[in-house]
Structure 1
Amino acid sequence: MANIYKRGKTWTARFTKRVTQWDPEKQATISTLKQKSKGGFKTKASARDYAIKMEATALSGVDVTQNPVFADYYKHWYETFKFPSIRQSTKNRYKINYKVIKQFFGLTKIKDITREQYQNFINNFAKNHAIVTVRKLNISIKACIQYAIDDGIMNRSFANQVSISGNSKLDRPVQYLNLSEIKELVQLCLNGLNPRYTSRYLILAAIYTGARLGELSALHWNDIDFDKNTIKISKSWNQDRQEMNKPKTESSNRIIPVNEKLLQVLRQLKYNHTNFVFGLSKTKYPPTSNAVNKTLRELLAKGNMQKKNFHFHSLRHSHVAYLLSEGVDIYAISKRLGHADISITLKTYAYLLDEFKNKQNDKIISSLSQL
């Protein structure tokens, strides 16, 4: 209920609410009195109007007594709900986001942020960041705000209907190999295969599956079905910390059909007698990302393929580029990559899709000409 009273020459509205909840430490139900006050109203009527709004908001399910600092709430949210199940690299990104939020909003309370203020925040961040980085930050904040709504702190999100932009100079076009370059790289790998050194095998696996390095490194022999010609992705390995994690997302759990040629090559690795498919004979663990990328750069140089900033993950892009050039449906590609939905694939590979659009337009015109 709300109480109106006068303090000096101004009026104050105070909303009082008693909350009963279970305390796991005391192992008992406790009752807590929560209050929210706002003063400085010049008239009793204006204080009463504010009190009525608070009571109406409370009836809608919002806890009007809570209004945490936005940056603090974001930090509490990701540490409580995200950190237990995400990789260190993702944790680092949340920490960076927190610093950005704190720097812009300071001690601003979460309920006091308007859509216009948030749009200004996004516009300011976009000046010095690529659009993909801006988009990831916005997605993260929207998820946090949804938790605030579910917690009863807010009844609507200030992050909805926000325009996302970015610094085009910082956008990096997707790097990939064309068909002849892929064939050249495959041949270079095959010519120098040695089961004791598994980097070339990982490169081949990436070309044929489009899987991430961590997903491939995590593979054990029971993840490969040599009868059905499939590879099961259900975990991710970080060799630098020698730590097994869950895949990047829930949708990353998938079964990838592969060809017999790749499986014949992978059979050679049983020579190492390791649990990991790509385990080195000496360490029994897969090679580090630095070692794999070093081998990749050496092979590209040997094939006279000038690819600046090309790295192992670029093989995933090359896999997609090849499938697109062969007319494979984007939905099927999305599932093969382990994306949560097709929109992620479309956004990630918009550059490639535009490149192949002309080819598809020619195909459409040719087909229509036959009518």
Structure 2
Amino acid sequence: MKKYNYVRKTFSWEGKRYTAYGKTEMEALQKMVELKEALKRGEKAINDKTTVDRWFREWIEVYKKPSGITEKSLDMYMQKYNGYIKPVLGSLPLKDIKEIQLQKILNEEAGKSYSHVSKLRMVMRELFSKARKSRLIVYDPSEDLQLPAVMKGSNRSITEEERQHIQATAQIHRAGLWVLTILYTGLRPGETATLLWKDIDFDKDEIHVYKALESGTGAIKGPKTQAGNRDIPIHSALRGKLLAARGDPFAYVFTKVNGKPLTADAMQQLWKSFVRAMNLEMGATVYRNKIVQPLVADDLTPYCLRHTFCTDLQRAGVPINVAKELMGHSNIAVTANIYTHRDGKTLHHNIQKLSDWEASQCDKTSGKKEKKMI
């Protein structure tokens, strides 16, 4: 029996060594070329030993981009993966990923917005679910992931990402002025519904608030407490927009399309329309004029805008007693509940104020000692 001395050709591909064999030099080279091409197509490189990072890149190229995903949606996937998953798991083989590792990544985001944490979990689920369906791994480590405690519901501030998209959508949607008014004044939605143009005092740069749409009845009544009667200075970012839309003194500032006053149902529909436009602005997936993959958090409500006004006051260093008056709270404890929400930038800013004060006290003490020595 004739024995062959096989020719071996080796090469590296993405940090891993591969070998091709042939009975002749030419055959070995040909097989090496074929193997390289197979690796480029992902036919040989993808298995349970493939790293999470390698699988993510293949998954994006093979499954997400061809699906018609928008650039903005793609950016969201890249941001969540590169910012939170890759640093922890990127270099590990798919087969070694356990549920607890993914859960720990989510738990690190506790206290942040529901939108952010739920999107991070969504990326994990899509990534590892496809790996299991492709038979690369035996089980899906992401299928039972739980969200940690997050800022959900109307009692939260908007994220900076949400703020950018809200402001962009406000430029093109008929509800834009209404949305920005809540964001820059902290008005309750029911208070905006009863606002007349004569209530906006451009000479004094104030909005006079003294009535609201009563929840449940639709009746216009005065505030439940005296604290609801207040004058809110007009934010500089809002004044020009209000002036441009200025109408008859006894006309409602915000109305339905037919010009009639806003009702609770009308405000709900107005907000729903604004959120749809915001989803489109963010690049949400649409099928037959229906948004099938929304990007706006489902807990985003008009009250989030009011809440944000309060937290913005805190970040700007406005005293809590002043914020109480601007918000129309009857009890400062209500304002304090918002002011005490953790905000890293505010905490650092105030510690710096403490450091500056202590330094000034040291300078004063040193000055007194120098005078005594003289």
Shorter-chain TM-score tier: 0.3 to 0.5
Q: TM-score, normalised by structure 2?
A: 0.46
Q: TM-score, normalised by structure 1?
A: 0.46
Higher relative contact order (CA 8 A, sep 6+): 2
Structure of greater Rg = 2
* Structure number having the greater strand percentage: 1
